[in-house]
Amino acid sequence: MKNNVKEVIISGHKTGGLILCLTILLYILAIPGAIAGIEEPYLGFLSVISVIWLLFGWILLLGLKVLKPNEALVLTLFGKYVGTLKGDGFFWVNPFCTSFNPAAGTKLGQSGDVKGTPSPITVSAQGSAVTTGYPASKKISLKVMTLSNSRQKVNDVLGNPVEVAVAVMWRVKDTAKAVFEVDNFKEYLSLQCDTAVRNVVKIYPYDVTDNVDTTGDGTADDGSLRGSTEVVAGRIKDEIQSKVADAGLEIVDARITYLAYAPEIAAAMLQRQQAAAVVDARKLIVDGAVGMVELALERLNEKHTVELDEERKAAMVSNLLVVLCGNHDAQPVVNSGSLY
């Protein structure tokens, strides 16, 4: 993409109040001037000038522009880019200049766009709301806005379908590039966000998995979507920024707002997680039980409480492990006879 248009900031045009007052004053003076020319023939020239002003003087008012903080206007004159108005104030520019913003009718989900005339809203495939029917404001917001696209179903590195939603904080950095380098910079950003999420998510497994390289250094690591959220979000931010830099946009931050297995495999993955948790719990119980049995045999041997041969030791170990590792409370059996 060639960056042929460079942003030009228009300065020194905060004369809107002066031009407005001057126009009103000239209209007030033009009315008696037109009447005087009718009554006095030698004032005919003054009458003509006054009538012309009354008919066409309002054209100067077309050059009045009002901007609030963090707003901008891209101005063109007969199709040629002349500059960008930035900063708050009451401006006056060439009345034949027109504001240009191809994304004026596009409202992204949860964004802080400059609000224009209320318009009917339709929803696009990328999850952004597009206004149609009435002209929207041509002002470009320079505020940090939030794009929250709908959830996407993406396959992770193992082929498991997962659902991901990302919130992207962004703002317009170069108004000329945003307006002239792409057809609609808001829709362009939305599409690039979807693409970046797919490109990054497919590199990672949902959970930590052996023999998976997520950094590209040829060595397996423990990166995962669930455990490395900050790293994944950072890579998504960098991926989007590399794509939208030529459109004059800056990505401030990106955050994963939703992450889960797709519904068709969620139940199976839940059972898998439960099975892994049960195995880990059983392993912990067995390790503890073996330690308790070892301690019991050592204490009996130290105190010489009872002498046990190898067969009886094996039976005792078996009984203790059954009691300690069982899911239910043991039912004691009292032996009233001899030990053997």
Give the model confidence (pLDDT) of 137-173 as tens digits.
789 989 999 888 788 888 888 888 889 999 999 999 9
pLDDT at 254: 92
Asked if 23 and 61 touch (Cβ cutoff 8 Å), the reply is yes
Write down all domains in the chain, each with its CATH number in brackets: 9-99 (no CATH), 106-261 (3.30.479.30), 273-325 (no CATH)
Average pLDDT, the chain: 80
Predicted TM-score of the model (pTM): 0.70
Of 243, 240, 266, nearest in space to 254 by CA: 240
Average pLDDT over residues 43-63: 85
Residues 101, 99: Cα–Cα separation, whole Å: 7
Tens of pLDDT along 3-23? 568 888 988 888 888 999 999
Residue 39 reports pLDDT greater than 70:
no
Residues 164, 194: Cα–Cα separation, whole Å: 10
Residues of the chain with pLDDT > 70, as a percent, come to 78
Tens of pLDDT along 264-307? 766 666 766 666 677 777 788 778 878 887 887 777 777 766 67
Q: What is the dihedral of CA 183, 184, 187, 190, to 10 degrees?
A: 90
| Residue in this structure with the two tokens 């993406």, named with its chain if needed | 154
211 vs 160, 225, 248, 333, CA distance in Å?
A: 16, 16, 40, 51
Residue 339 reports pLDDT greater than 60:
no
> What is the pLDDT confidence band of residue 218, given thresholds at 50, 70 and 90?
confident
Query: Which has the minimum average pLDDT: 107-116, 196-205, 280-289, 319-328?
Result: 107-116
Residue 124 reports pLDDT greater than 80:
no
Residue 117 reports pLDDT greater than 50:
no
